[in-house]
Structure 1
Amino acid sequence: MGTYLSTPKTEKFSEDGENDRLRYGLSSMQGWRATMEDAHAAYPDLDSSTSFFGVYDGHGGKVVAKFCAKYLHQQVLKNDAYAAGDIGTSVKRAFFRMDEMMRGQRGWRELAVLGDKINKITGMIEGLIWSPRSSDSNEQVDDWAFEEGPHSDFAGPTSGSTACVAIIRNNELLVANAGDSRCVISRKGQAYNLSRDHKPDLEVEKERIVKAGGFIHAGRVNGSLNLARAIGDMEFKQNKYLPVEKQIVTSNPDINAVELCDDDDFIVLACDGIWDCMSSQQLVDFIHEQLTSMQENKLSLVCERVLDRCLAPTAGGEGCDNMTMLLVQFKKPIMSVASPNKQSSPSKPADPESNLEDSGSK
């Protein structure tokens, strides 16, 4: 993870899209890292009333991030709780389901395909940014049946990924996060954190890690992982006497529900390569400046300018990580129609630059 190139790869994968409720832009850049381990998902029309956006920051390899980008939103849709209107429960189960699906013969085979030098579906070469395309349809049948084979006892990948996703339905925004990628909302130009960075030195994380038999050294779980929650990283999830929520490292996401209003400008989802370089408020201020001054109306250009601004001039330290940023702007007025089985929601986000406590469905 600490290997750097002699010169950064500044080519970017960028994309824009919209529907009648919102528009989005995204951009990803490998930067100084030797490999690109980020992935993302952007589905403005997950169904007729719901949008889904996600950022996945891999570590120890790219395959878990790619796996999440391909399958996590599908599992949200497939869960019975989603059909009942309980998005919070469906997204939490989808996070847990990622770890389940990556075990065994079929999980091993799928991770091996995603790790190939050339992905035959997208035709994109390793080192470029991977993004699910139209062939990865939400409608595809996927019962994920058990398969016999030489890797039937595969415990799952030792690499892992953060997952920070935002689901928007009518005037409800739900954010689920595991790891140190972050979601921030701009309300009247003020930045509010909608997720909490899961670092091992947080008291609630430290308590779980130690109770599960782990330790923290130099700010890292068992001296190696600088995250307390992640999908994958199965070596930290081997205690058979503990539920998934209480393992040394857990994929259990914080879930926060917020009611949107016309004061809300946009949300940003980004990996820690961005947040290492800019605070939440600094990024919100920069985005507002760009939206005011730029002549071209593409949100991906704003994302690209953020990546360029954060890129370090030399290798080493802040600004040398992979970078992915997803910007979602709300179209006004925001719909005020409440969704069925509405989540309990705070009337406004937490104090500026602070983190919300869990307020959504558990």
Structure 2
Amino acid sequence: MRLPAISPIPCGELEQEFNSLRRKVTFRRTARFVLAAIRFSKGFRRHTRQHRDLIRGKNSSSNNSAMGNALSEPITEKISACQSSSQVLVGSSCMQGWRNTMEDAHVHLLDFSGSASGEAPSSYYAVFDGHFNGAVAEFCGANVHLRIKENPQFRGGNVEEAFRTSCLAIDKEILDNPRHFRRSGSTGVMVIYRENKLHCANVGDSRAVASVTGRAQPLSFDHKPFKPEEEKRIQAAGGFVHMNRVNGTLAVSRGFGDSDMKENSSLPAEEQMVTASPEIITEDVTDDHEFFILACDGIWDCKSSQEVVDFVRERVAAKILPDKICEELMMSCLAPESRRDGLGCDNMTVVLGILLRGKEYEDVAKQCQRPCSPSVHAQAATGEPMDSSSNGAEGDDATESNPSEENSASGSTPADAAASEADSEAPAEESVAADSPEQSDPAPGASSEEAAEPKVTPESDV
């Protein structure tokens, strides 16, 4: 078979075509390099500007919110729920507020007993406050209670050890899946009510508190990098505390996730810069216990523990349902406009458990109509703090101050604080710097070291 003749292509044309293709490839590579350089330059300038503004106590976003890029108007739609058993009447509510996204998660399960016969009746409550995004908080809300319930220590009655091992196990699952969770993290406060005891496990700066004849009884204490025991662990793991933040970025010293803070392979999980090992407190429930509250730092930034207890107790005495009380509490903390210091601009989540213990809600309401315990009145008269967890502290969701304590005598809210701030001179705004600590009042029985914790501006956890 004879093949058709192929006319040869002149060498000059081949060379021209080759040079043309080379120029196109070179141009495309150069264009990609230039675009990458431009993007890097913009990102570097933005990062430098944000760091500079953070040092000055400002935020680079156009609305001057310390919570990051906030909305022009708050989202005040709420997701609320109310459940009851013979032991507890629980209500909950959450609200996105001024934040671009909702990063909180919460759970309440009135039937938390295991499948084993004869196991003591239990109930479970939790609030998780995410930072960077809500992935870790959502995962914890869906899985922590499952790990606790299937934990042999829990079935054996050792609630504290079940809390500890379950929290660390969940954190390991998160760290083993970096593609999904990336740098996401979350705080968490969890309460199990079992056999007339409140078992509380805390990781971060969400908080739980109980009301005992109107007195705020702390069930948890905030984990902040500037606390001596937390700073000691951070430094031993190779980190540092700057601007009251771990490595200058994270405003809580314990949390789930935050993989970039847990990279020291020579140390166990409990000794990393940021650890998910919970601090656990157990309190016996007496006839004087009325209710308990779990909330994210969006609430505690605005009100002290005693102020929240007073707010809730007044409404329980009026027989308002707990989910409605949660909604009113959040609205009382919501800032009327986006603030430079972020006060009242965070996501907000509240879980309120009324301790019925076989009684009717009306009986607890009558109990809350009684005067507060004498110790509360004595402390109010002398100006001493109502509880040791009064706000010296996000961030979430974060480094925070509590202007509400200064206004507590007049019952002022973030709205009042915002109005007074608007009337003040410009230099006063500049004074809200993250590294200008104040002294919190000492709590009864608290050590001078605990009483000297600084107050810093309430920013998000990142």
Same fold, judged at TM 0.5 (above): yes
Q: Which residue of 2 aligns with 1:138?
A: none
Q: Which residue of 2 aligns with 1:203?
A: 228
Q: Per-residue displacement from partner, 1:250-301 (whole Å, max 9, x unpaired)? A: 001100111111100000000000000000001100111112235xx42100
Cα distance between partner residues in 1 of 2:313 and 2:156: 37
Question: Aligned-pair distance for 1:207?
Answer: 0.4
- 2:211 aligned with 1:186, yes or no? yes
Cα distance between partner residues in 2 of 1:19 and 1:300: 15
SS of corresponding position for 2:73: strand
SS of corresponding position for 1:269: strand
Q: 2:88 aligns with which of 22, 26, 40?
A: 22
SS of corresponding position for 2:98: strand
Indicate the structure with greater helix content. 2
SS of corresponding position for 1:28: strand
Cα distance between partner residues in 2 of 1:237 and 1:352: 36
If asked which structure has higher relative contact order (CA below 8 Å, sep 6+), I would say: 1
Q: Which residue of 1 aligns with 2:291?
A: 266
Two-structure CA RMSD over aligned residues (Å): 1.7
Question: Aligned-pair distance for 1:332?
Answer: 4.0
Question: Aligned-pair distance for 1:159?
Answer: 1.1
SS of corresponding position for 2:307: helix
- 2:134 aligned with 1:62, yes or no? yes
Cα distance between partner residues in 2 of 1:193 and 1:83: 26
Cα distance between partner residues in 1 of 2:318 and 2:147: 40
Question: Aligned-pair distance for 1:192?
Answer: 1.4
Q: Per-residue displacement from partner, 1:100-146 (whole Å, max 9, x unpaired)? A: 11244xx468x5xxxxxxxxxxxxxxxxxxxxxxxxxxxxxxxxxxx
Q: Per-residue displacement from partner, 1:190-249 (whole Å, max 9, x unpaired)? A: 011110100100000000001110011111110100000000001111111111111000
- 2:388 aligned with 1:354, yes or no? yes
Cα distance between partner residues in 1 of 2:194 and 2:175: 32
In the alignment of these two chains, the number of paired residues is: 292
SS of corresponding position for 1:300: helix
- 2:99 aligned with 1:33, yes or no? yes
Question: Aligned-pair distance for 1:182?
Answer: 0.3
Where does the alignment leave 5 or more consecutive residues of structure 2 unmatched?
Answer: 1-66, 114-119, 360-384, 390-444, 447-462
Question: Aligned-pair distance for 1:352?
Answer: 4.4
SS of corresponding position for 2:145: helix
Q: Which residue of 2 aligns with 1:131?
A: none
- 2:331 aligned with 1:308, yes or no? yes
SS of corresponding position for 1:4: coil
Q: 1:221 aligns with which of 210, 233, 246?
A: 246
Report if aligned partners of 1:274, 1:307 keep a CA contact under 8 Å in 2.
yes
Cα distance between partner residues in 1 of 2:152 and 2:173: 17
> Which amino acid in 2 is paired with 1:248?
M
Q: Per-residue displacement from partner, 1:146-194 (whole Å, max 9, x unpaired)? A: xxxxxxxxxx631100010000112011000010000000000001111
Where does the alignment leave 5 or more consecutive residues of structure 1 unmatched?
Answer: 112-155, 335-350, 358-362
TM norm structure 2: 0.61
- 2:280 aligned with 1:255, yes or no? yes
Cα distance between partner residues in 2 of 1:332 and 1:248: 41
Q: Which residue of 1 aligns with 2:271?
A: 246
Q: 1:94 aligns with which of 158, 166, 175?
A: 166
Report if aligned partners of 1:177, 1:253 keep a CA contact under 8 Å in 2.
yes
Cα distance between partner residues in 1 of 2:386 and 2:152: 36
Cα distance between partner residues in 2 of 1:78 and 1:100: 17
> Which amino acid in 2 is paired with 1:101?
E
TM norm structure 1: 0.78
Query: What pairs with 1:280-359 in structure 2 (closer than 5 Å)?
Result: 280-294=305-319, 297-316=320-339, 317-332=342-357, 352-355=386-389
> Which amino acid in 1 is paired with 2:147?
Q
Cα distance between partner residues in 1 of 2:357 and 2:203: 30
Q: 1:84 aligns with which of 130, 149, 156?
A: 156
Report if aligned partners of 2:216, 2:309 keep a CA contact under 8 Å in 1.
yes
Report if aligned partners of 2:105, 2:137 keep a CA contact under 8 Å in 1.
yes
SS of corresponding position for 2:72: strand
Q: Per-residue displacement from partner, 1:72-123 (whole Å, max 9, x unpaired)? A: 000001111111111110111111011111244xx468x5xxxxxxxxxxxx
Report if aligned partners of 1:229, 1:249 keep a CA contact under 8 Å in 2.
yes
Q: Which residue of 1 aligns with 2:147?
A: 75
Q: Which residue of 2 aligns with 1:168?
A: 193
Report if aligned partners of 1:262, 1:333 keep a CA contact under 8 Å in 2.
no
Report if aligned partners of 1:262, 1:332 keep a CA contact under 8 Å in 2.
no
Question: Aligned-pair distance for 1:333?
Answer: 5.8
Report if aligned partners of 1:102, 1:157 keep a CA contact under 8 Å in 2.
no
Report if aligned partners of 1:191, 1:281 keep a CA contact under 8 Å in 2.
yes
Cα distance between partner residues in 1 of 2:287 and 2:357: 6
Cα distance between partner residues in 1 of 2:191 and 2:386: 19
SS of corresponding position for 1:53: strand
Q: Which residue of 1 aligns with 2:450?
A: none
Identity %: 41
Cα distance between partner residues in 2 of 1:97 and 1:32: 33
Find the structure with the greater CA-based Rg: 2
Structure 1: 4+ residue segments shifted above 6 A: none
